[in-house]
Structure 1
Amino acid sequence: MKLVSWLRLAVGCTLALVCFTAGQLRGQEQTLTEQGVIAGTMEIDFKTRTELDSTGTYTEGSSALGAKDTYAFKLSVAKTTEFSGKITRQPDLFTKIIRSQKQKAELSFDIGLAVRNPTNLDEKRNVGKWVGTVPINATTGAYEITGGAILDSPLRIAIDAVNKQPSFTDKFGGKLIGKSKKEDNLASYTYKRLVGNKTVEIKVAKVDPMKFVDLELAKGPAGNYPRTTVNGRLDFDYETGNWLTDGIRFRYNFNGKDVEDIVTGSVKWVEDDNRKTNGKGEYQFNLRWNEAKQAPQTTEAAAFDKLSDEDAFFAVDDSLPCMTGKIAYEDKFISGGETPASSKVTYALNANKLTKTQIVNFFKLWLVGIGPINDE
């Protein structure tokens, strides 16, 4: 009898623990640690740099009428979503004499969306498109995310009804302010980050911010990836080619719970020793999610004790939720210079303790900023 009673107690406790754990996890998204969480290739053709106006109609150095930069890609995100297609960008064109505008700057999106079966990644379904137009304000550098509606081409994710998933269309919103391209607008800034149990900082003399102002990322490709609002900055350091941020804020609702993710850190530009001849360079990612909320890892901190603040700032700490890895470029330069005419780009980014929502949100933001991010 005593044995039976003990077994009943043990089973009861086990069931209670299972129920408690399930209750704890309900509404929370699981994290994943995965190599190649954003992977694939992109080919960039900078026709606005190679097809220049030969008529003398437009201001000096203008591209030819109709010339566009093209970003063609096929990229997998978190293994189960695929983005393939192209983004094109055309510049403003003004006549030389009276500066009449003959062509307005804009981005155009034409991206196919697909999902893969998590239990069999060979099974793929095309589910919709990411399409639309984003006008670019020549004066302010603002990417008017909602401006495509005036052209009957709002930037949106449009998903078809597939099996049990209903169809939906969700629009992007807000603004992205591109790089200023004016030296007198650059500012000095100090960036801080947590390394182990101490804070290190670096000061950059001239940074050019790419700003996100209530930028709204449409939901999708699957319905579980929520609509997200983004605010903050990703700053470009002209002297090093690095991108830095002291906080990009992503706000969204997941399973009825309001969530805010704060992304901090760096995307470091590293050139190959023979870049002038082979065109190679890469962005090395060291972005962290919610690092201020993480408990200091004193054991890992010891590895950074002897580093300078700058070296420690760029060092990877896998004890924290982060995105690492690289985006590698192989550029072909315009004859006689070091400005790329085209680029072959390979994505190999890794996730450490990140949710799929965090990964997809970051990827969408990266694509929206594709112009400023790939400018030289």
Structure 2
Amino acid sequence: MKTLRLLPLLVLSLATVQAQELEKITQPGAINGTVNITFNTRTRLTDDGKPQKGAKDVYEVALTVGKTTEFKGKVERQPLLTSKILGSVEQPGQYFYSLDLGVINPTNMTQKKTVGKWVGTVPIAADGTYELTGSNESKHRVSVDAIGRSPAFTDNFGGRLYGKGKKTGGAMSYVRRLQGKEVKIEVKNVDPMRFENVVIASGPAQSYPKCTVNGNLDFDYETGNWLTNGIRFHYSLNGKEYDDVVTGSIKWVEDPNRATNGKGQYEFNLRWNEDKNKPASTEADAFKSANDEEAFFSVDNSVPSLTGVVAYVDTMAKVNGEDSVTASKITYQLDANQLTKQQVMNFLKVWLLGIGPTNDE
């Protein structure tokens, strides 16, 4: 009889655990590491200035998330090549993913294990559409081995990402709430990178679930900034549904001597669920001035956010008579403020899906 009495309490206890909010972290370097790029398609050219057949851009990735998960390996980009006369495809446009997925022992940071891979081929259409499901020969997926108590699993990516290449007509407006006032900027020369029912594969741990992503991250050609009024993430974990809306900006700042030293950096100012987490306004807020571009890009740590710097040292060269970046050494130092590890992981996966468009000039 005692067991029967305890059963409802055990069920209630389990439901309470499932309903608990995910742990939030405030962590410098929640995303850190390096990405080194060699743009072979800009240096290995034919006589008519096109990339040579077989030339690929190579993105060497070594990034850590939440200090306990590592992505290490490379992504290669093969450009679409067509014949000059008939326009027939000589070489399909494709991305090739080959990233080792590692876990780091949080109690002993020197201990690492490779638990699986992020692999697959992503076809790219002539209009810049990424078919994230992958090709018939090589599905785009995360494959994790059975290690310790963790079971093996394979999970696929899906949906479409529309890369840079289609500029919008007319001005686009971007809005944020700051100090109780609405701050808005308008951008005239925008190229949207659009996520359409993008499915992010789960892993490497089961605590990072499958996630569906929709929305835009827009590139401003005049400033080099990225802007968004909302990238939407939907996922479920421990029996609970989660919806995150990421808003904000990624500002490009060039070193005064960039022409000679190749330096510049992206300053991240992304906010999670800003409308839900913004503090209540007071009477004094009506008298605060916050209606300019400087205020729009200012950091507000009163809401969950990802801030910090992605710093570039680019190698410049003349290509077809014009200045071009032929290689990049990139260092990541992005800080989480009251974010869950799932939120940080989801963003990094999306960022790696757009590794080509976000690094093109």
Same fold (TM over 0.5): yes
Instruction: Please give the root-mean-square deviation of Cα atoms over the aligned residues, in Å.
Output: 1.9
Structure 1 Cα separation of the partners of residues 19 and 291 of structure 2: 43
Q: Is residue 263–residue 314 contact of structure 2 (8 Å, CA) maintained in 1?
A: yes
Structure 2 Cα separation of the partners of residues 25 and 32 of structure 1: 19
Matched, 1:49 2:36: no
Q: Is residue 227–residue 248 contact of structure 2 (8 Å, CA) maintained in 1?
A: yes
Structure 2 Cα separation of the partners of residues 253 and 126 of structure 1: 26
Partner of 2:3: none
The structural deviation recorded for 1:307 is 4.5
Equivalent of 2:325 in 340, 343, 354: 340
Q: Deviations over 1:149-201 (max 9, x none)?
A: x1x21110000000000000000000000112x55x44421000111222211
Is the alpha carbon distance of 1:76 and 1:249 closer, same or farther for their aligned partners in structure 2, counting shifts above 3 Å?
A: same
Partner of 1:169: 154
Partner of 1:75: 63
Q: Secondary structure at the match of 2:350?
A: helix
Q: Is residue 218–residue 226 contact of structure 1 (8 Å, CA) maintained in 2?
A: yes
What amino acid sits opposite 1:53 in the alignment?
T
- Structure showing greater Rg: 1
Partner of 2:308: 325
Q: Deviations over 1:22-56 (max 9, x none)?
A: 947843211000111100111100000000013xx
Structure 2 Cα separation of the partners of residues 102 and 366 of structure 1: 29
Q: Secondary structure at the match of 2:213?
A: strand
Structure 2 Cα separation of the partners of residues 318 and 174 of structure 1: 33
Q: Deviations over 1:194-236 (max 9, x none)?
A: 1122221111112110000000000001011000000000000
Q: Secondary structure at the match of 1:48?
A: helix
Q: Is residue 27–residue 255 contact of structure 1 (8 Å, CA) maintained in 2?
A: no
Matched, 1:126 2:119: no
Structure 2 Cα separation of the partners of residues 232 and 157 of structure 1: 23
Is the alpha carbon distance of 1:317 and 1:297 closer, same or farther for their aligned partners in structure 2, counting shifts above 3 Å?
A: farther
Partner of 1:16: none
List 4+ stretches of structure 1 deviating above 6 A: none
Q: Is residue 276–residue 338 contact of structure 1 (8 Å, CA) maintained in 2?
A: no
What amino acid sits opposite 1:154 in the alignment?
K
Q: Deviations over 1:281-320 (max 9, x none)?
A: 0000000000001142659x97x93454211110000111
The structural deviation recorded for 1:98 is 2.1
Matched, 1:236 2:224: no
Matched, 1:357 2:336: no
Partner of 2:200: 217
Equivalent of 1:39 in 18, 32, 39: 32
Q: Secondary structure at the match of 1:121?
A: coil
Matched, 1:145 2:138: no
Pairing of 1:262-341 with structure 2 (within 5 A): 262-296=245-279, 305-335=288-318, 337-341=322-326
Q: Is residue 27–residue 256 contact of structure 1 (8 Å, CA) maintained in 2?
A: no
What amino acid sits opposite 2:204 in the alignment?
P
Task: Tell me how many residue pairs correspond in the alignment.
Answer: 345
What amino acid sits opposite 1:36 in the alignment?
G
Q: Is residue 182–residue 291 contact of structure 2 (8 Å, CA) maintained in 1?
A: no
Pairing of 1:199-218 with structure 2 (within 5 A): 199-218=182-201
Structure 1 Cα separation of the partners of residues 193 and 169 of structure 2: 12
What amino acid sits opposite 1:305 in the alignment?
K
The structural deviation recorded for 1:125 is 1.2
Q: Is residue 31–residue 353 contact of structure 1 (8 Å, CA) maintained in 2?
A: yes
What amino acid sits opposite 2:60 in the alignment?
A
Unaligned 5+ runs, structure 1: 1-18, 55-59
The structural deviation recorded for 1:337 is 4.0
Partner of 1:195: 178
Q: Secondary structure at the match of 1:334?
A: strand
What amino acid sits opposite 1:141 in the alignment?
G
Q: Deviations over 1:303-362 (max 9, x none)?
A: x93454211110000111000001000001123643200000000000000000000000
Matched, 1:259 2:242: yes
TM-score of the superposed pair, with normalisation by structure 1 = 0.88
Matched, 1:226 2:209: yes
Q: Is residue 234–residue 244 contact of structure 2 (8 Å, CA) maintained in 1?
A: yes
Q: Identity of aligned pairs, percent?
A: 53
What amino acid sits opposite 2:40 in the alignment?
K
